[in-house]
Amino acid sequence: MEINQLNPDIVSVAPSALRVFDHEISADPDIVKLTLGEPDFNVPEHIKQAAIASINADQSHYPYYWGIQELRDAASTYYREKFGYQYTADQIVCTVGATEGLSATFKTLFQPGDGVLIPMPAYPVYKAMALVNHLKPIMIDTTANGCVLKPQQVTDAIKANPDVTIRGVVITDPSNPTGVVYSEDQLAALVPVLRDNKIWVISDEIYGELTYGVQHYSLSRWLPDQTIIINGLSKSHAMTGWRIGFAFGPTGVIDQIAKAHQFQVTTPTSIVQYAAVEALTHGQNDAAAMRKVYEKRCDYLKQELTKLGVTYVEPQGAFYIFMKIPEQCQLDSFAFARQLAKDYHVGLMPGAPFGDPQALRISYASSNENLHAAVDALTKELTKLGVL
């Protein structure tokens, strides 16, 4: 069999550089990893018990493809109370993590050749999803504006791409990899240009519960008819491996996303859906305890990086710090990260896959001990390179 007979959309897309790098450094048994975006907390006990009860109650049948009614009712209430989302249960599809919600949304909203704006630095999955769906990802560098997309940049991108119909934008708020949170004013400022140009908003709000001293707003408040929200329990309830997420959207559009979802995976498992009902009905405070810990770790890293003279994008949410590699190092992000892993057994994520080859992403979803090890390794590496 020939590889060139396989689907070229898949063959031509590189596997996730983040996963590949993480796998590479994992060969070192002593490695301390601050690479993946994975909460280091266990699933709250009451949710585990709900999953066990669901198994014992033989809730083992095919759930309806949109997700079970109880879960969509619970999601409608939970997210309305948390963030003011205005969606009834029949405007919510339960997906296999946020990732599957993104995938079904990309598939449904766009046609081959459409342009999708991706403000950078960004979670690399968006670009890959655009490519496998024959779309044109248009990357917009936002570093000069504190990693927030400005309305003028949307206008400029439209002008700079006269042959492309720009039909979508992805907003990640709070952001992976920078932890930046859009303010109410910054979101409101984007509304006229997105509305006038009929640009769909894919609003990835998976870190919405993890903000430090600032409030999370959703663009759906201003643009309910042209926004699809992606959210889920991976980060808020430390349930990454359970694979449960949600897509929220206007009637008519969400129905089509539900179909795309049905044909790609059908549903998350029944047991996880029943456990997720518990998370959304009795787990309103689950994220708060984790958030407190993350915030302390974030403060610690900011303080230590500042002491080292290392600059970073000011984070207000998620569990990442996006730091600049000092120019004097003369190493790009992969070279620096590899060297740090080799010399001091600490893994930080290269910034290049996020769009900045001179940055590193530190995930502080990791123990204090690991954070200390990372600061120690950075200190030694920067000393060795003559920066300190």
Q: Which is nearer to ligand PLP, 97 or 350 (CB)?
A: 97
Residue written as token pair 């993480």: 22
- Dist. CA 323–CA 309, nearest whole Å: 11
Grouping H, G, I as helix, E, B as strand and the rest as coil, residue 207 is coil
DSSP string, 84-153: -----GGGEEEESHHHHHHHHHHHHH--TT-EEEEEES--THHHHHHHHTT-EEEEEE-GGGTT---HHH
CB of 101 to ligand PLP, least distance (A): 8
Tokens of 30: 């002593």
Give, as ranges, the residues between 176 and 215 that touch ligand PLP (CB under 6 A): 176, 204, 206
Q: Which member of 16, 99, 281, 379 binds ligand PLP (CB under 6 A)?
A: 99
Stretch that binds ligand PLP, among 86-94, 95-103, 193-201, 326-334 (CB under 6 A): 95-103
> Does residue 172 bind ligand PLP (CB under 6 A)?
yes
Q: Which member of 33, 35, 37, 280 binds ligand PLP (CB under 6 A)?
A: 37
DSSP string, 245-294: EEEE--TTHHHHHHHHHHHHT--S-HHHHHHHHHHHHH-TTHHHHHHHHH
Sign of CA dihedral 221, 320, 98, 81: negative
- Residues in the interface with ligand PLP (CB under 6 A) total 13
Stretch that binds ligand PLP, among 68-76, 96-104, 190-198, 353-361 (CB under 6 A): 96-104
Q: Which is nearer to ligand PLP, 133 or 240 (CB)?
A: 240
Q: Which is nearer to ligand PLP, 283 or 326 (CB)?
A: 283
CB of 344 to ligand PLP, least distance (A): 25
Give the H or E element holding residue 171.
strand 166-172
- Dist. CA 70–CA 86, nearest whole Å: 17
Tokens of 303: 């303080």
Stretch that binds ligand PLP, among 75-83, 94-102, 257-265, 284-292 (CB under 6 A): 94-102
What are the distances in angstroms from CA 335 to CA 35, 67, 341?
A: 15, 44, 10
Grouping H, G, I as helix, E, B as strand and the rest as coil, residue 323 is strand
- Dist. CA 124–CA 102, nearest whole Å: 12
CB of 38 to ligand PLP, least distance (A): 8
- For residue 79, give the amino acid letter: Y
Q: Which residue's Cβ has the minimum distance to ligand PLP?
A: 97
Q: Which is nearer to ligand PLP, 218 or 377 (CB)?
A: 218
- Dist. CA 42–CA 77, nearest whole Å: 25
CB of 3 to ligand PLP, least distance (A): 28
> Does residue 123 bind ligand PLP (CB under 6 A)?
yes
* Contacts with ligand PLP, 217-256, as mask; x by CB under 6 A: ---------------x-x-----x----x-----------
> Does residue 97 bind ligand PLP (CB under 6 A)?
yes
CB of 376 to ligand PLP, least distance (A): 26
Stretch that binds ligand PLP, among 91-99, 156-164, 308-316, 364-372 (CB under 6 A): 91-99
**Which residues are near ligand PLP by CB under 6 A?**
37, 97-99, 123, 172, 176, 204, 206, 232, 234, 240, 245
